[in-house]
Structure 1
Amino acid sequence: MTESTTPRPSTLGELRASGHRQKALREEIRDNLLARLAAGEDPWPGLHGFEDTVIPQLERALIAGHDVVLLGERGQGKTRLLRTLVGLLDEWTPVIEGSELGEHPYEPVTETSKRRVAELGDELPVAWRHRDERYAEKLATPDTSVADLIGDVDPMKVAEGRSLGDPETIHFGLIPRSHRGIVAINELPDLAERIQVAMLNVMEERDIQIRGYVLRLPLDVLVVASANPEDYTNRGRIITPLKDRFGAEIRTHYPTELAAEVAVIRQEAHLTAEVPDHLVEILARFTRNLRESSSVDQRSGVSARFAIAGVETIAASALHRATSYGEDEAVARLVDLQTAVDVLGGKVEFETGEEGREADILTHLLRTAIAETVREHLRGIDLHRLVDAIEDGRLITTGEKVTARDFLTGLPALPPEESGETDAYDQVIEALGARSDGERAAAIELALEGLFLARKIAKDADAGETVYG
């Protein structure tokens, strides 16, 4: 049934007459996942690099009906992966109108809802809840309480004259309120151990205990969580009994392929200017080099957010230059990369003993990434005529304050090529697919930097101006 074509039942009687069948949460997720897979649809849109590793493990866990904990360093997409689980729920599901826990009309679990069903029968009002409302997320912090997750006695209800033994005096926490839905707890080890203990009954016996009460609520909730590996986090750990109650423990990882890394950056970055593909690739390679460096603390990891923030920073630098110096369009260039390094250095944790060398390490790894990108895209292009022109005394000036048009105008004219041979500038521009002045300037800057890194020409950078000569 869809909202646009068929009116949804609004009472319990209409719901029964419609032939609606109640499904347990895990059955609902399993059926929807298997239907997507059978139809050849991707149940995990927007996730890159997990296709052959994490995703198959997660799919098997969901088919088995297991609660899941994802273990991995920061910025590996754990939270995004958990949020995509919402897409495996039915788009709309019926609930008892006004029920605190979103109970199914066929199966009330609280005393209040049971009483209403007995009193109203088929006239019981039914509301419809969208799947987005059936996902709850909690960032675990050391000050999270049992009341936040499980619940507590509500003093206002007691003040109304109800006794402390009355189950209706309970104010339910996040997990009971996620009944018939998914509750995700990020950074699970940050929960105090006594709070983790409070989750044991919820995950195994599916009841809740509050201040001496044992409320037999048949909760139907999928608990998923994320955590950094325990050998890294100093803030806490997942207690063994709770760890045992998660049916699946899945290790995540950073993208293993460069193309997946670039796809993540392109997908997640919010750009204020155009950033050519080769610059995104440089930042992706730079990030991967940091993850492999012995000078960087790999237990903390180098988040995908590092490269995403880097691309956003160089786009902002390009827009700043275009606005300040009257460029028609804002296009990031190689000269903007240093801005990103200056801003992002604090996002990397270095090994003990590397104090004072952080800038040198970042610069070296960035140059390595640039050299790798040059080899990938400009291999085979003969730039000896450009080198000869520079050796004859020509200087090429660029920098954060130099517009693309001024940079292109200042390039030395190269000697005539042999008949039918393409100009070296044009070969570089064609290899990188450049179209506009900004893209052409970005392409030629990459070639010049490649010549500098190959020690064919010299470079002097100072006060926002870079001179090749």
Structure 2
Amino acid sequence: MSERPTTLGELRASGWVSRSVKDELRQNAIERIKAGEPLFDSVLGYEDTVLPQLENAILAGHDVIFLGERGQAKTRMIRSLTDLLDEWMPIVAGSEINDDPYGPVSKPARDLVAEMGDATPISWVHRDERYGEKLATPDTSIADLIGEVDPIKIAEGRHLSNEETIHFGLVPRTNRGIFAINELPDLAERIQVGLLNVLEERDVQIRGFKLRLPLDVLLFASANPDDYTNRGRLITPLKDRFGSQIRTHYPLTVATEVTIALQEARDLAVPGLEVRLPAYMTEIVAEFSQLARRNPHINQRSGVSVRLTVANLETLQANAMRRALQHGETIVVPRVSDLDALAASTIGKVEIETIEEGREGLVVEQILKAAVLGVFREHIAVENLREVVDSFDGDRLVNAGEDVSSADYVALLADIPALAPHITALTGGDTTPEVVASAVEFVLEGLHLSKRLNKDAVGARAQYRGRG
């Protein structure tokens, strides 16, 4: 901080040039593009869809509204825009609204510059402090966003017409920065009008007092598509304020969903326990979310967030960890039998619509079965398992479940030799008992869902048997 100019005179001598926040983002974006650097590297799955549109909006200097269901990284993208701001920005020292030293807006800053000239003290604001956001709710007020008359300042003897009596809201305090409003249509119409005035007309009316306030703000907003297009939820002039409207989406592929989930999920490893996640198990969790987004029993207006995938992946690992601890195992590997635990982390995150009450668990179970079958078919051709199926002719029964140890599954390979090569292919040759156990359960469940084996519930266990 000591190397930066501390007075207005020093700032002028340094050659610092004032520019609008939109020009600042635009120029910094141009420099990154020239250098071949990505503008956004923390958001996955949007490389060919959303991000090019967002980059165009930045280069065009547009205010932007994101339309999309919950859990589509809208807020994360907006917050990441601060990386395109200059790291430090000079303001008139003590300014509440980040006054530009070359063109102060607030009366205290104007008076200070007029009085002290080149000796005006300068302070520096980090780019992280130039971002503000508000979740719009029906009770959001003008005072929250724009400001309100401060009764304490009135009590000190200042007149209502004195602009120094105003306690500024979030938008003015984000002057020369980025301001985001989440769920914009939830703002009351009169608040939308007030927001439009400060952003478009550049004036504020507070308790009948009109204040000219030429703010420099880049506005971002997010909204649910149904709310945004519903006539009357958003006033037309405010809609026109946005130069770009960008539609977000959920991950288009299972692979992308898996990558995001692994990136976002909490690391559950603890000393003495090693967590291993077979690829097919993470794919099942991701496929479950993908199928839920197309399921007629799931309310698609409320969406199926990627947060569901993350929560389910964490629950899957947690259940496997609990099972491993009970068996005295030190390697945690999720199995198909652990998928039953996902109901608890699913039902609260989606809106399940059924005719009969209490059937939410059945809907989750059906989607899980479809996910397991889909992933099974991706990994194994069921026709190649004919010898395994033939091994179940007669009275052979195979138990599976939480109370079956990994050693029991390993012993099964000696009992059914035809199973061994398929398990080796799934595990990549890993002979760790816990890894083998997971693969065995996956194959058995896949055969059942492919209608090659029968499955019976016996207490807490599942029993697989031939269909003869």
Q: What TM-score, normalized to structure 2?
A: 0.91
Q: Which moved more, 1:325-334 or 1:135-144?
A: 325-334
Counterpart for residue 372 of structure 2: 370
Equivalent pairs counted in the alignment come to 459
Counterpart for residue 455 of structure 2: 459
Counterpart for residue 134 of structure 2: 138
Aligned pairs (5 A) from 1:9-408 = 9-230=5-226, 237-272=233-268, 273-351=275-353, 353=355, 355=357, 357-379=359-381, 382-408=384-410
Counterpart for residue 425 of structure 1: 423
Q: Give the alignment's Cα RMSD to 1 decimal.
A: 2.5
CA positional deviation for 1:295:
2.7
What SS does structure 1 have at the residue aligned with 2:25?
A: helix
What SS does structure 1 have at the residue aligned with 2:45?
A: coil
In structure 2, C-alpha distance between the alignment counterparts of 1:88 and 1:224, rounded to whole Å: 15
What SS does structure 2 have at the residue aligned with 1:102?
A: coil
What SS does structure 2 have at the residue aligned with 1:266?
A: helix
For residues 271-323 of structure 1, what are the alpha-carbon distances to aligned partners after superposition, in whole Å with 9 as ceiling and x for unaligned?
A: 41443221121121111111112232222221111111111111111222223
Q: Which runs of 5 or more residues in structure 2 are unaligned?
A: 269-274
Q: Does 1:439 align with 2:435?
A: yes
In structure 1, C-alpha distance between the alignment counterparts of 2:356 and 2:33, rounded to whole Å: 49
Q: What TM-score, normalized to structure 1?
A: 0.91
In structure 2, C-alpha distance between the alignment counterparts of 1:40 and 1:55, rounded to whole Å: 15
Preserved CA contact (<8 Å) 2:388 2:418: no
CA positional deviation for 1:410:
4.8
What SS does structure 1 have at the residue aligned with 2:220?
A: strand
Q: Do the aligned partners of residues 393 and 49 (structure 1) sit closer, same or farther apart at CA in structure 2, a change above 3 Å counting?
A: same
In structure 2, C-alpha distance between the alignment counterparts of 1:100 and 1:131, rounded to whole Å: 16
What SS does structure 2 have at the residue aligned with 1:383?
A: helix
In structure 2, C-alpha distance between the alignment counterparts of 1:308 and 1:344, rounded to whole Å: 11
CA positional deviation for 1:112:
0.3
In structure 1, C-alpha distance between the alignment counterparts of 2:11 and 2:124, rounded to whole Å: 11
Paired letter, 1:41: E
For residues 36-69 of structure 1, what are the alpha-carbon distances to aligned partners after superposition, in whole Å with 9 as ceiling and x for unaligned?
A: 1221111111212222222122221121111111
Q: Do the aligned partners of residues 466 and 416 (structure 1) sit closer, same or farther apart at CA in structure 2, a change above 3 Å counting?
A: closer
1:414 to 406, 413, 416: 416
In structure 1, C-alpha distance between the alignment counterparts of 2:80 and 2:397, rounded to whole Å: 53
CA positional deviation for 1:381:
7.9
What SS does structure 1 have at the residue aligned with 2:331?
A: coil
In structure 2, C-alpha distance between the alignment counterparts of 1:150 and 1:30, rounded to whole Å: 26
Preserved CA contact (<8 Å) 2:86 2:127: yes
Q: Do the aligned partners of residues 97 and 403 (structure 1) sit closer, same or farther apart at CA in structure 2, a change above 3 Å counting?
A: farther
What SS does structure 2 have at the residue aligned with 1:293?
A: coil
In structure 2, C-alpha distance between the alignment counterparts of 1:232 and 1:138, rounded to whole Å: 17
What SS does structure 1 have at the residue aligned with 2:18?
A: coil
Preserved CA contact (<8 Å) 2:199 2:215: no
Counterpart for residue 272 of structure 2: none
What SS does structure 1 have at the residue aligned with 2:225?
A: coil
Paired letter, 2:427: I
